[in-house]
A and B are shown apart, each in its own frame.
Chain A
Amino acid sequence: MTARDLSRHTAGELAAAVASGEVSAVEVTQAHLDRIGAVDGGVHAYLHVDADAALAAAADVDARRAAGAELGPLAGVPLALKDVITTSDMPTTAGSRILEGWRPPYDATIVQRLRDAGVIILGKTNMDEFAMGSSTENSAFGPTHNPWDLSRIPGGSGGGSAAALASFQAPLAIGTDTGGSIRQPAAVTGTVGVKPTYGGVSRYGLIACASSLDQAGPCARTVQDAALLHEVIAGHDALDSTSIDRPVPDVAGAARQGAEGDLSGLRVGVVSELGGEGYQAGVEARFHETVELLGKLGADVVEVSCPHFSYGLAAYYLILPSEVSSNLARFDAMRYGLRVGDDGTRSAEDVMNATRGTGFGAEAKRRIILGTYALSSGYYDAYYGQAQKVRTLISRDFAAAFEQVDVLVSPTTPTTAFPLGERVDDPLAMYKNDLCTIPSNLAGNASASFPCGLADEDGLPVGLHVMAPVMADERVYRVGAAVEQAYVTQWGGYLLDQAPEVEERQ
């Protein structure tokens, strides 16, 4: 295996090669560090790469293997970690100037589990500030570029994680999804992204955007890899009160079952409200082909109406900013992070104001103000209160739909990757990226995006969005793996194999 080969393999293959001794974890890690060195200058997927720590962790896996220790199914496989997850050995910025250089004194539960599983954390990936955005253009540290076309957005907020996968800088990544931040980047980069059921993966150490919506999940290039990563990070955590105390669904088993290509007996609902006006023709074409494919694989496909999904975006942009305004209050220049304007004469309050004015970017400020407004006395009932009722109605729409079908499908996002800069100062246009993904955050159910082809008009990836009931995460894997298997056969390889080679630029 050459170094370039190592970066092209799936996580499952790499783990097997490490376990068998065919390659060492150090070699695998070094190959990815080399790849990062070669291409990340143009992609800017990473905010921080810790080669020394990664190689040390890899050497530890190799030593454990040599000592005859039982290794986990992903031991020795490198991973790119979204910079919203705390790490005790690397900075954690959440893409914000206000946290630049902050080194948390603790590891997130996810990080603990990755380390315990022998997964090698290469570094921290770029993101929209505090996970607010759909393009990574809201990162304080410059945008990430889509490996399919470096002049386009990689999606967001987890654009760094998705771009790292799509440019073969890591075979696995962690994302977090508040309104689509795992799934939308996956769709526009031709990768796989899963938002588990809310409470399926611990939020302890995940810097909160909107606490009642945030969910971390696996990102990968293949469905099986995503499932293996899902099983490493999921499961009950006593440090997160909203964590579900039940066994993790058998997602790897479901992915294997799906890959057999038989969806007989599965009932699939196409959400009528998620399509039509505002959806790019090439997106709709690939989506409808994929729906047909599901039928060919044996699924019963019906159309299902979820009438309140149309209000999801509005409810979301009230609930999210409200929680954001409170969650981001702690960034006040007193205990950690940026401090601006402390000249010895200004008060703590002045320094807080100045620091927050300087440290937060435009989108964070918009949402803080919007949330402060939605929660303020006199407006609470009309905005936050009403949005919470709409949230109930959306959950009821899901419940009614899942009476009829096992999964729901839609495009992941209405358009393919748009050019960097196009929607930066048009928040409403930007928010519409999340139209299809938001309902699952409001209802807390599992959903995912899988590659389903390239749009005819621009040759860019399109995502299939699959939604399953709460704690039925395995269903999205079954569908995703079946679709993946069928398309790999049809295309003669993964969608990413059709991606242009990323120019080497350091």
Chain B
Amino acid sequence: MPTATTALPSFDDVIARFDPVMGMEVHVELGTVTKMFCGCSTEFGAEPNTQVCPTCLGLPGSLPVVNRTAVESAMRIGLALNCHIAEYCRFARKNYFYPDMPKNFQISQYDEPIAFDGWTEVTVDTDDGPRVVPIGIERAHMEEDTGKSLHVGGSTGRIHGASHSLLDYNRAGIPLIEIVTKPIEVEAALAPAVARAYVTELRELVRALGVSEARMELGQMRCDANVSLRPRGTTTFGTRSETKNVNSLRSVERAVTYEIRRHAAVLDAGEPVVQETRHWHEDTGETTAGRTKEEAEDYRYFPEPDLVPLAPSREWVEELRGTLPEPPAARRARLQGEWGFTDLEMRDVVNAGAMGLVEETVTAGSDPAGAKKWWLGEIARTANERGAELDQVGITPQQVARVQELIGAGTLNDKLARQVVEGVLAGEGSPDEVIEARGLAVVSDDAALGAAVDDAIAAMPDAAEKVRGGNMGPVGALIGSVMKATQGQADAQRVRELILQRLGE
């Protein structure tokens, strides 16, 4: 089986011959104050094994009790995804042994999810303009997270080669909502973008609901991507692979692309695709084989006897429905109208995952175009270089708005503003601190500028003569000379006025 990217057919070649079917399974860690089944804190970053109790440690004799807020969050996610909310459902035990799971079973839901049969839609860019793609939602169910293991003694902290492992159960029992799509059938060329757009959409949605910050780099949102391929013109589903550990928006797109190409290579070689889990490696951009279907555990699900069934009343469901925020599509349409963006501009903002950030920046006082320029320009470039999300790159919407404010007030020009943003992104502090530390404010003081203007006129007598004669063409060159001499800090408007003063009247 081909393993190196070089051995795989190109994406363009593959999409000309095959159709993919995708399925996405996304785990969202809820931002509840306490865990799913006990009163331990969920706060991130505590000392190991300090946010544990008999229940989340799985001590003999301990029992779970359901967190009401977690159930409400699950129902709200379900409602926002246009799901039905079960009138009666039970938790189930998923039995398998693994040291990071204290009870050696996970309390989850099996054939009775709290929410099922819904839909959402995403917008992707095509050659014919933006296209809305509907995504069916199979189910959303509740479960608990596992602890974390630290592998010691190996060279890289990885599981292989480690001599032993150290376990911290602070994360064990944190509520998770698993959201599973129905099979997504979309033309091959769009598949990776649809996968990414879906995860982006889901992230926006849970953030808008206020149920999770969904920070993928912290593992608050984790994605498994199922991919299968079938030759164009055939109808039976191909054998699927399930790629795990796809934990950034960019990775979603890359992993789906990679798997589509890998499946094609296997099929081209006349070999059967193996039903297996695959592991995505961010660094190499490849997936490697995990467990095959034959090796898969028999989870021996059965109803959790320690928890009573849930039977949410319809009044409760309707009450929760009343708390839903504006649906993403409606919100997009509204904001596009408010901001006066074209379809194309709006699509760029959405695809960059920047809509919420632009909105916050505008709320903080910026003009929409200015906000968009920064988030899709300088900041997006930095995020891309660092492989980080836009909101984790080190600048806040309020800071961007402040930069825009300073431009508006003439304190910064474009060039200086870029330097300020660069400084903030480099961790040098707030915009004002960067300006202070780097001495970046625009010079508009006539005394300071006057000398530079005189120097420029003296250095460029021909240009000065032409301007005196009424030819305005060379003014730009003179201004440029002054800007150069002041290292870009001069107020260009004032410089122009001073040049015209000296050469005109």
Seen from chain A, the residues whose Cβ lies within 8 Å of a Cβ on chain B are 85-86, 92, 94, 99, 102, 104-106, 108, 203-208, 210-212, 238-242, 322-323, 325-326, 329-332, 334-336, 344, 348-349, 352, 372, 375-377, 380, 384
Tell me if A86 and B61 are in contact (CB < 8 A). Answer: yes
Give the distance in Å from the alpha carbon of A210 to the alpha carbon of B305 in the complex: 9
Whether the pair A242, B62 counts as a contact (CB closer than 8 A) is no
Q: Are A330 and B95 in contact (CB under 8 A)?
A: no
**Would B97 and A208 count as touching, CB distance under 8 A?**
no
The 8 Å CB contact of A329, one of B65, B103, B165, B302, is B103
A332→B61 contact, CB < 8 A: no
Residues of A within 8 A of B54 (CB): 104-106
Give bound CA distance, A4 to B105, whole Å.
50
- Which of A204, A242, A335, A348 has a CB less than 8 Å from the CB of B61? A204
A241-B308, A348-B165, A376-B298 known; A205+B61 contact, CB < 8 A: yes
Pair A203/B63 contact, Cβ less than 8 Å: yes
Closest 7 CB pairs of A and B: A329-B104, A212-B305, A375-B300, A211-B305, A207-B60, A205-B61, A86-B61
Beyond the given pairs A204-B63, A208-B60, A330-B103, 10 more chain A to chain B contacts, judged by CB atoms under 8 angstroms and listed by A's residue number, are: A106-B61, A108-B61, A204-B61, A241-B307, A325-B95, A326-B105, A330-B102, A331-B60, A334-B99, A335-B58
Of all chain A residues, the one with the shortest Cβ separation from B38 is A239
Is the Cβ of A241 less than 8 Å from the Cβ of B306?
Answer: yes
| Shortest Cβ gap from B153 to chain A (Å) | 10
Give the CA-CA distance A375 to B308 in the complex, in Å: 20
Whether the pair B61, A206 counts as a contact (CB closer than 8 A) is: yes
Instruction: For the complex, give the distance between the alpha carbons of A304 and B316 in Å.
Output: 44
Residues of A within 8 A of B298 (CB): 376-377
Interface on B for A, CB 8 Å cutoff?
54, 57-66, 93, 95, 97, 99, 102-105, 163, 165, 167, 298, 300-302, 305-308
A347 vs chain B, min Cβ distance (A): 10
Shortest Cβ distance from B308 into A: residue: A241
CB distance from A374 to the nearest CB of B (A): 9
Residue among B65, B93, B97 making CB contact with A349, cutoff 8 Å: B97
Query: How many angstroms between the C-alpha atoms of A301 and B331 in the bound complex?
Result: 73
Knowing A105-B54, A329-B95, A349-B97, say if A376 contacts B300 (CB, 8 Å). yes
Known: A104-B61, A241-B65, A323-B305. A330 touches B163 (CB 8 A): no
Contact of A384 (CB < 8 Å), options: B61, B97, B167, B302: B302
Q: Which A residue sits closest to B37, measured CB to CB? A: A241
B305 touches A85 (CB 8 A): no
Cβ 8 A contact of B306, one of A86, A211, A238, A352: A211
Across-interface contacts of A94 in B (CB, < 8 A) = 60
Contact with B60, one of A86, A323, A377, A380 (Cβ below 8 angstroms): A86
Residue contact B305 to A330, C-beta cutoff 8 Å: no
Closest Cβ of chain B: how far from A238's Cβ, in Å?
7
Nearest opposing residue in chain A for B104, CB measure: A329
Q: Which of chain A's residues has its CB closest to B59's CB?
A: A104
How far is the CB of B218 from the nearest CB of chain A, in Å? 25
**How many angstroms between the C-alpha atoms of A205 and B301 in the bound complex?**
24
Contacting pair A335 B102 (CB below 8 A): yes
**Cα of A331 to Cα of B61 in the assembled complex, Å:** 12
Q: Quick one: which of B59, B65, B302, B308 contacts A239, CB cutoff 8 A?
A: B65
> Residues of A contacting B95 with CB < 8 Å?
325-326, 329, 375
Chain A neighbourhood of B59, CB < 8 A: 86, 104-106, 335-336
